[in-house]
């Protein structure tokens, strides 16, 4: 078994225009001072990393690593959530998602998609240059407006959507495989990959690609009323990243999973700071340790109530206290009989 690495912090939700949250050096020191051992870096903000430059220049990648290491921590992974979202966008969401792309690619869905695909390929090479073995992303969504089967979905619609999704992602996955990096899809409402079944459908379309892995975040399964612990039993071999994020789901006689179009504060399901929600993190860390998860435990802070800096401050010790230092011997070794192979055969009547 392996001891999970951490605690680490996904810095995306903390980025602001003022120090220490507006540059890599200061935010690294801030995270280290809170007790984090690593940071996960969003790759769309050039104040923190120039993704293309990191892909094309090992020297620049070493400089980025050096800035983080100077604070006494390390980079855990890159995030390409926003770019991954743009690999597949249903036209309904064109205007809303245009803001994820540079201005030059807006109002042009084809050019925007081509830009996003290239960004993912840069991320594969940048991750290799940074010495990383996993990268986070979203799958994007062609089918999400049809997630509920009313009006009735035409026969073959879902199959066509997943076939196209696989076609778009397969060259990207090949690029990640060539660079020795796992691409980890965060299974998330709003994405075509949002639960185990949709993930399996995708795997079928990309021929069970070995680089098509999972970023496990139990909070999204709580909000879908899924069994997030048995999910680990089913997919542990594919789980290569872990977001430690809490959530609560309190359905009433008035609303449930869909939330009645309410704000995050007023939804039946909402994200919470670590320890304030319903996720059984003792169970989560136990199962991931049991299955020899070798990656990082990374706090993703998203809470409808608590201040982010309080969530970050409380998150490092919370994660540290849940990381299980694995044992090197069995608890009953003291009672070992010392019987050898010949004696074993004798006990079984085989001698």
Concatenated DSSP letters of 103-128? GGGTT-HHHHHHHHHHHHHHHHHHHH
Q: How far from 12 is each of 6, 60, 163, 274, 326, CA to CA, in Å?
A: 17, 21, 31, 17, 31
| Range of the structural domain that residue 141 is part of | 5-347
Strands (E), 157-203: 182-186
Q: Supply the CATH number for residue 149's domain.
A: 3.20.20.150
Which band of pLDDT confidence, cut at 50, 70 and 90, is reported for residue 55? very high
Using an 8 Å Cβ cutoff, are 165 and 192 in contact? Answer: yes
Q: Which two tokens stand for residue 17?
A: 């225009």
- Preceding omega of 200 cis (within 30 degrees of 0): no
Strands 134-137 and 182-186: parallel
Strand 269-272 to 246-249 pairing: antiparallel
Region for 35 from its dihedrals, namely left if φ exceeds 0, alpha if ψ lies in -120 to 50, beta otherwise: left
- pTM as predicted: 0.96
| Between residues 217 and 340, the one the model is more confident about | 217
pLDDT digits (tens, 9 = 90+) for 280-292: 999 999 999 999 9
Say how many domains are in the chain. Answer: 1
How far is residue 62 from each of residues 30, 55, 56, 266, measured CA to CA in Å?
Answer: 21, 11, 12, 45
Residue 276 to residue 3: CA distance in whole angstroms:
25
pLDDT of residue 331: 76
pLDDT for 63-84, tens place per residue? 999 999 999 999 999 999 999 9
In tens, the pLDDT along 95-129 reads 999 999 999 999 999 999 999 999 999 999 999 99
């Amino acid at each position: 078994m392996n001891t999970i690495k951490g605690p680490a912090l996904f810095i995306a939700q903390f980025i602001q225009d003022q120090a220490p949250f507006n540059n890599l050096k200061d935010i690294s020191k801030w995270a280290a001072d809170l007790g984090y051992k690593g940071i996960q870096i969003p790759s769309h903000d050039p104040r923190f990393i120039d993704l293309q430059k990191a892909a094309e220049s090992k020297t620049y990648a070493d400089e980025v690593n050096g800035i983080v290491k100077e604070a006494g921590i390390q980079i855990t992974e890159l995030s390409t959530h926003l770019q991954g979202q743009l690999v597949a966008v249903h036209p309904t969401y064109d205007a809303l998602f245009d803001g994820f792309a540079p201005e030059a690619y807006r109002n042009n869905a084809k050019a925007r998609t081509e830009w996003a695909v290239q960004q993912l390929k840069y991320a594969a090479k940048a991750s290799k240059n940074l010495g990383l073995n996993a990268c986070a992303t979203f799958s994007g969504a062609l089918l999400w407006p049809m997630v509920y089967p009313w009006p009735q979905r035409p026969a073959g619609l879902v199959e066509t959507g997943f076939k196209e999704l696989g076609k778009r992602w397969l060259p990207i996955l090949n690029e990640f495989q060539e660079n020795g990096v796992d691409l980890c899809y965060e299974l998330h409402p709003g994405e075509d990959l949002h639960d185990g079944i949709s993930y399996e459908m995708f795997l079928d379309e990309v021929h069970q690609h070995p680089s098509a892995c999972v970023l496990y975040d139990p909070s999204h399964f709580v909000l879908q009323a899924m069994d997030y612990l048995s999910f680990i039993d089913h997919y542990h071999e594919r789980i290569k990243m872990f977001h430690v994020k809490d959530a609560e789901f309190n359905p009433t006689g008035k609303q449930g999973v869909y939330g009645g179009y309410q704000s995050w504060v007023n939804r039946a399901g909402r994200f919470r700071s670590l320890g304030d929600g319903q996720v059984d993190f003792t169970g989560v860390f136990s199962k991931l340790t049991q299955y020899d998860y070798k990656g990082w435990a990374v706090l993703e802070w998203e809470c409808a109530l608590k201040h982010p800096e309080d969530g970050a401050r409380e998150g490092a010790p919370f994660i540290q206290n849940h990381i299980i230092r694995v044992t090197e011997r069995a608890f009953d070794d003291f009672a070992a009989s010392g019987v050898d192979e010949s004696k074993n055969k004798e006990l079984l009547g085989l001698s």
